[in-house]
């Protein structure tokens, strides 16, 4: 326990951990789901099902109300107006929507600044838009030793040509928390539009769009203890108005002739087709569950587990930590000259789930001078026993590898 917080009581709310002997240390990839989220999704399918915004019968009206209440819940969670919340399939689709939506205004005279620490979801869409529009993709480099953004170079590369700055809230490789407030403020001085990938950050700290003042902020439900297939795009009113629709179809229009259409108002114009109603309801349930928890106690517990983890790793000479953080929810490391996949496989055979590889961040991994890493990531349901079991399995792995 940490200051009265009982992780075992919280963990009991997650059916996934009914499997004995299983240690899950891969929450940065996706989080397990608490029972209230599972129940909310199940109820949405057990009750009479109908499409939203399509019918006047009670089932449709009820589904629509739940769908829109979920939007209001998300908006309140991040300090935004519900009209500025667009449902997507996840953070990846949200960034693609923004990139495509802004492409009509990009020219060869424009620069797109993207950090080299980004997940591919916040890099490839900008590469594609640069190729299609002639805009220049400009790298914001990192400091390989610390795994942090080089703020001096960032400020040097901001110019009157800069149209877009795309950065992550928190690195999915090292857990580095970027100075997004400062970066946003400086970018706005040059008139640049700022997009923040919040997939890793929103899980571990409260965010308020009014305070952050970014133009766009995106995140996925499945990393926030919610379901897969649902995500959120927040945009300032003027930022959303600047976007062209990504998908065409039903719901995103108000009038259609054979050769013309009139777009619906925001956010409907970006939500063509039948939406993931159950996903939205499940995400709202996850947010409601989170609000019932003691966030400060959870943060303190995760930090304590992280310290136990980092101390144990540092005590093993052949393990090299990659840009370790003072406090974080994840750590990446390499084991001598051993291949990361071999280490992860031997751990998996002992019931330990970690991530290995380049973590969908090839440029960052290359900048760090490694071929890949083993990543351990923590969540509210992890315990000191998880760390103890992981270290025991790691020691056995080192023995098997004769290190």
Residue pair 70/78 in contact (Cβ under 8 Å)? The answer is no
Q: Residue 241 belongs to what H/E stretch?
A: helix 237-241
- Counting beta carbons within 10 angstroms of the beta carbon of residue 377, is it exposed (0 to 12), middle (13 to 18) or buried (19 or more)? buried
| Cβ count within 10 A of residue 56 | 6
Cα–Cα distance between 328 and 325 in angstroms, integer?
Answer: 6
Cα–Cα distance between 155 and 271 in angstroms, integer?
Answer: 36
Catalytic residue check, 360: yes
Residue pair 32/17 in contact (Cβ under 8 Å)? The answer is yes
Strand partners, 254: none
Strand partners, 26: 377
Cα–Cα distance between 40 and 141 in angstroms, integer?
Answer: 43
CA dihedral 165, 167, 169, 171 (to 10 degrees): -170
Number of residues assigned to the chain: 403
Cα–Cα distance between 75 and 383 in angstroms, integer?
Answer: 31
Q: Which two tokens stand for residue 307?
A: 């310290």
Q: Which one is catalytic: 142, 143, 208, 360?
A: 360
Cα–Cα distance between 358 and 262 in angstroms, integer?
Answer: 44
Q: Which two tokens stand for residue 294?
A: 């003691």
Kindly list the strands in the beta sheet with 319-322, ordered across the sheet, starting from the edge strand earlier in the chain.
319-322, 330-335, 373-377, 355-357
Crossing angle of helices 35-46 and 277-291, rounded to 10°: 150
The residues, ordered by sequence, that sit 6+ positions from 48 with a Cβ below 8 Å of its Cβ are 58, 59, 62
Nearest to 387 by CA among 352, 356, 359: 352
Instruction: Indicate which residues carry an active-site annotation.
Output: 360
């Amino acid at each position: 326990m940490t200051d009265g917080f009982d992780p075992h009581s919280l963990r009991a709310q997650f059916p996934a951990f009914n499997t004995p002997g299983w240690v899950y240390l891969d929450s940065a990839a996706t989080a397990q789901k608490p029972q209230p989220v599972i129940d909310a999704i199940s109820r949405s399918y057990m009750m009479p099902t109908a499409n939203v915004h399509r019918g006047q019968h009670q089932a449709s009206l009820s589904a629509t109300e739940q769908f829109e209440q979920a939007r209001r819940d998300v908006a309140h969670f991040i300090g935004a107006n519900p009209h500025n919340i667009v449902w997507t399939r996840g953070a990846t689709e949200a960034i693609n929507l923004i990139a495509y939506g802004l492409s009509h205004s990009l020219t060869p005279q424009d620069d797109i600044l993207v950090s080299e620490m980004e997940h591919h979801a916040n890099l490839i869409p900008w590469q594609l838009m640069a190729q299609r529009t002639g805009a220049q993709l400009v790298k914001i480099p990192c400091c390989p030793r610390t795994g942090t953004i080089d703020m001096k170079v960032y400020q040097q590369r901001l110019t009157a040509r800069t149209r877009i700055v795309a950065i992550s809230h928190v690195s999915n490789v090292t857990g580095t928390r970027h100075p997004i407030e400062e970066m946003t403020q400086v970018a706005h001085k040059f008139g640049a539009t700022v997009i923040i990938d919040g997939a890793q950050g929103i899980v571990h700290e409260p965010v308020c769009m009014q305070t952050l003042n970014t133009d766009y902020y995106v995140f996925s439900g499945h990393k926030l203890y919610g379901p897969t297939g649902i995500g959120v795009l927040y945009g300032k009113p003027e930022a959303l108005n600047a976007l062209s629709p990504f998908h065409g179809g039903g719901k995103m229009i108000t009038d259609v002739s054979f050769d013309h259409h009139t777009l619906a108002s925001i956010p409907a114009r970006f939500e063509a087709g039948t939406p993931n109603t159950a996903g939205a309801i499940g995400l709202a349930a996850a947010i409601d569950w989170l609000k019932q928890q003691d966030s400060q106690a959870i943060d303190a517990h995760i930090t304590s587990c992280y310290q136990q983890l980092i101390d144990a790793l540092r005590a093993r000479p052949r393990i090299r930590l990659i840009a370790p953080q003072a406090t974080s929810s994840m750590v990446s490391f390499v084991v001598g000259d051993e291949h990361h996949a071999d280490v992860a496989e031997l751990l998996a055979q002992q019931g330990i789930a970690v991530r290995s590889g380049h973590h969908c961040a090839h440029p960052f991994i290359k900048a760090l001078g490694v071929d890949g890493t083993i990543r351990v990531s923590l969540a509210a349901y992890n315990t000191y026993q998880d760390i103890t079991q992981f270290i025991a399995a790691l020691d056995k792995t080192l023995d098997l590898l004769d290190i």
